[in-house]
Every structure is written in C-alpha cells, then in structure tokens.
C-alpha cells in the first residue's frame, strides 16, 4: 500500500509511519511541525519508501501518484496544546479533515479519521460504547478539540454516505509511549518528567478522576486491524484498565524511584471525571485487544524520557 499520514511527525503519526514502513508499505508523511517534531521522523529519512511533505493540511493537499489510504492524524491532541492553539485545532479538525477527505476521494483511497474519546465529553455513561452520543460543552476550553472532532466524524460519514467512500473512524482513548513530548502537558509525560527531575508531581483536582491508558504499540495494532477491516463506523480503541489519576501518579513515582512530592493543583475546566472504553466492538469485529500492561508500557516510556 501507499499510505498518506497527516500529522506524520507527531507522537501517533510517527509510530504509524514506522509500523507501515516495517510492514513493507510506502508512506508519505505530512506535518507542519506545530506540535509534531522533525526528530520523530529523522530515523526514516533514508528509507526509499518514505517521503515527507512539510505542509499545513488546512491548505489544499497535493500528493502526486497513487494513494491507497489516507490516515488523518494531524491535530494538537493535548488539552494544553489545544488551549494554546484553539483556532488551528478547530481548523485542522474541520478544514484539514475536508482536505484529507478530498484527497482520498480523488485517489479512490480508504480514508481513516483519528477521532477521540473526547467525542464523549464528560461522559454520563461508563464505560463508553460507540453508540453513546456524549456530553460535550461546545463553548468550553476543550470544545475546540471536541467539536472539531465531532464535526470531522460527521464530515467523514457524509463522504461515506454521499460519495460512497470507504471510511474508518478510530476513537482513540488516552495513549502513551515513547515520542510523547516532555512538555506536551499531558498527565503521563508531566508525571514522568517531574518524577525524573525531582520536581513536584502535579495532580489536578484530588486525582479521583479516572483515565484508562493504552500503550502505543497496542493502539497501532488496533489501527492496522481497523484499516484492514470493513467497519465503516466509529470503533473505540483503548485499554479498559481504568485507574485514578492519583494512582497513575503514584505508580510513576514508585517506578522511577523518585523522591518527588505529589501536590494537588486546581482541576481544569470540563476535565472529564471518568473515561473508560468499552471495546466489545473492536474485540468482536477486529479480534483486537490490548496486550501491554501498565507497568510494562511505563517501563519503556520512562526509559525513553530518561534517555532525553
């Protein structure tokens, strides 16, 4: 396959680039480096099956030659990033998705949208199933991401229904692993960086809110399985192992052998109180389930942050 990956220099994007190159596919990565990093794709530069185009996908996307699949993964994805770049976040979810769909249609390629558990907002149903419509504040600080992704799902299904295009929608739950940015503001990189540098570990609220952390290699396997399936509707991919944020902070403190103190800071506005994927659909249709436990995944992630 020849695969276009928008956001190819980002955390997930670069893992997907690596995965498909390893499988023998060709990859064209697009990124404007707003939250992506050239360092993430540096190892692939000499691979003949890899090409990179520096581009903002909210502008017309021009890729020469055959394309079999377009994976639209470009977007700020950390609450801190989308608070910093609210308008680019809305634009890449809306205009960027439109352009990536247009490219797919033109090339007769499969389109895959990187959607998100943020679709469910602060969910009133837990675990979240794909048929739950969510509880989202459109005008809060997270609305720029949540509503852009909801729009992107609507646009993807419209292209599927109106243009009869093959589409895939992956609703990605919290994912962690090597190549997350130290300063991206999310819980796992914050806690690891703080623990390794002896700074205070900042738990927001009382740390009773929950998240369910999926290791990146599990996520990539799920995405590959979805791409090769025929499921033209949203599928949750995530690890159902639900933990409180305080428990995650304590685990990281213990695993790094850190003397850092855990301190409590104000809870951000609209911070979801619970989050846990129901993965029955992925399990039935894709025969997929996560395999990497939290400690195993954290060990390799901590190793990556230690190496700097």
Q: Which residues bind ligand UDP (CB under 6 A)?
A: 78-79, 174, 186-187, 190, 202-204, 209, 211, 245, 268, 271
Name the minimum Å distance from CB 203 to ligand UDP.
Answer: 4
Side-chain-facing half-sphere of 298: CA atoms under 13 Å: 21
Tell me if residue 187 falls in helix, strand or coil: helix
**Backbone φ and ψ of 259, nearest 5°:** -95, 5
Contact 268, 245 (CB under 8 A): no
Question: What one-character DSSP code corresponds to residue 277?
Answer: B
Q: 36 or 207, CB closer to ligand UDP? A: 207
Name the minimum Å distance from CB 211 to ligand UDP.
Answer: 5
Name the minimum Å distance from CB 239 to ligand UDP.
Answer: 13
Name the minimum Å distance from CB 173 to ligand UDP.
Answer: 8
Q: So which residues are the catalytic ones?
A: 145
Q: 190 or 258, CB closer to ligand UDP? A: 190
Q: 26 or 117, CB closer to ligand UDP? A: 117
Alpha carbons 104 and 108: distance in angstroms, whole number? 6
Q: 96 or 238, CB closer to ligand UDP? A: 238
Kind of pairing, strands 69-72 and 2-6? Answer: parallel
Alpha carbons 233 and 239: distance in angstroms, whole number? 19
Q: How many CB atoms are located within 10 Å of the residue 193 CB?
A: 18
**Would you give the distance in Å from CA 204 to the centre of its chain?**
21
Contact 71, 3 (CB under 8 A): yes
Helices (H), 61-96: 79-84, 86-91
Which H or E run includes 175?
Answer: strand 175-176
Total residue count of the chain as it appears in this document: 308
Q: 47 or 202, CB closer to ligand UDP? A: 202
Name the minimum Å distance from CB 137 to ligand UDP.
Answer: 14
């Amino acid at each position: 396959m020849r695969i276009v990956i928008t956001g190819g220099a980002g955390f997930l994007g670069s893992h997907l680039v690596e995965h498909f190159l390893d499988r023998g596919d060709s990859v064209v990565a697009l990124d404007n480096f707003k939250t992506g990093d050239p360092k993430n794709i540096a190892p692939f530069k000499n691979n003949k099956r890899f090409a990179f185009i520096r581009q903002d996908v909210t502008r017309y996307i021009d890729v020469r030659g055959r394309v079999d699949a377009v994976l639209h993964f470009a977007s700020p994805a950390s609450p801190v990033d989308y608070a910093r770049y609210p308008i680019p976040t809305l634009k890449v979810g809306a205009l960027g998705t439109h352009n990536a769909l247009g490219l797919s249609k033109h090339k007769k390629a499969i389109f895959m949208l990187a959607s998100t558990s943020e679709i469910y907002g602060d969910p009133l149903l837990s675990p979240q199933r794909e048929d739950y419509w969510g509880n989202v504040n459109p005008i809060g600080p997270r609305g720029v991401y949540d509503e852009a992704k909801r729009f992107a799902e609507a646009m993807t299904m419209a292209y599927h229904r109106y243009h009869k295009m093959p589409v895939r929608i992956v609703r990605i739950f919290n994912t962690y692993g090597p190549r997350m940015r130290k300063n991206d503001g999310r819980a796992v990189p914050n806690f690891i960086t703080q623990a390794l540098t002896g700074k205070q570990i900042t738990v927001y609220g009382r740390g009773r809110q929950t998240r369910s952390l999926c290791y990146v290699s599990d996520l990539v396997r799920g995405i590959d399985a979805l791409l090769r399936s025929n499921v033209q509707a949203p599928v949750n991919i995530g690890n159902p192992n639900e933990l409180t944020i305080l428990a995650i902070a304590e685990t990281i403190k213990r695993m790094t052998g850190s003397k850092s103190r855990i301190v409590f800071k104000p809870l951000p506005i609209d911070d979801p109180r619970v989050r846990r994927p129901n993965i029955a659909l992925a399990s039935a249709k894709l025969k997929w389930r996560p395999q990497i436990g939290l400690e195993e995944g954290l060990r390799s992630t901590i190793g990556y942050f230690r190496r700097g």
